Amino acid sequence: MDIEKKVWEVLLSEEEIQGRTKELGKQISEEYADKKLVVVSLLKGSFIFTADLVRRISIPVKVEFMTTSSYGHGQESSGKINIINDVKGDLTGYDVLVVDDITDSGLTMKHVMAHLGTKNPNSVKCCVLLDKPERRQVDIVPDYLGFTIPDKFVVGYGLNFGDYYRNVPYVFVVTDQDR
């Protein structure tokens, strides 16, 4: 699909995303106030959401990154999740919050949460900006959620189209109509 010949429809504006991120940061700060919080950001898709979210968290927070296999240039999950870059060491005494851009089939989050659970943390929860519940293949409900969205391929605010458009500050949908 050649994106230049497609129509972009803004799904979530910069203001909507920032407003919701602020609320999530406040809620997380309150609920983890007496805990040792470590945010685990899933690369690459969640790097922008994580950067904004952690700046809205007002308690001490450790930030780690993990890389899992992604959709690459396609729009469908391969169904097989590989951990390419792991969090080093164990997580004894920490409460883990896995942050991702979007939960689609749920396979990535389910796999990552189970994996981090083997590192002996006190708890493992997740926070995702976007959720497409219609696409779910495994039983998982985000503990903290920005927005529920329809079953459409979305781009921007960290989400890629091929290797590009992660830097667009809002979330948009690419339609099949010609301009």
Task: Please count the other Cβ atoms lying within 10 Å of the Cβ belonging to residue 12.
Answer: 20
**Segment 51 to 70, residues that bind ligand 5GP, using CB under 6 A:** 70
Asked whether position 41 contacts ligand 5GP by CB under 6 A, the answer is: no
From CA 19, how far away is CA 168, in angstroms rounded? 17
From CA 159, how far away is CA 178, in angstroms rounded? 22
Question: What Rg, from alpha-carbon coordinates, does the chain have?
Answer: 16
Tokens coding 13? 């504006």
- Cβ at position 15, least distance to ligand 5GP in Å: 21
Asked whether position 108 contacts ligand 5GP by CB under 6 A, the answer is: yes
Tokens coding 54? 């952690």
- Cβ at position 33, least distance to ligand 5GP in Å: 28
Asked whether position 154 contacts ligand 5GP by CB under 6 A, the answer is: yes
Asked whether position 102 contacts ligand 5GP by CB under 6 A, the answer is: yes
Question: Whose Cβ is closer to ligand 5GP: residue 122's or residue 137's?
Answer: 137
Name which position in 17, 28, 45, 168 contacts ligand 5GP (CB under 6 A).
45
Name which position in 54, 103, 129, 131 contacts ligand 5GP (CB under 6 A).
103
Active site residue: 104, 139, 151, 163, which one? Answer: 104
Segment lying near ligand 5GP (by CB under 6 A), choices 11-19, 30-38, 97-105, 114-122 = 97-105
From CA 98, how far away is CA 129, in angstroms rounded? 11
Please say if 104 is a catalytic residue.
Answer: yes
* Residue where the block lists tokens 């922008």: 48
Residues marked as catalytic: 104
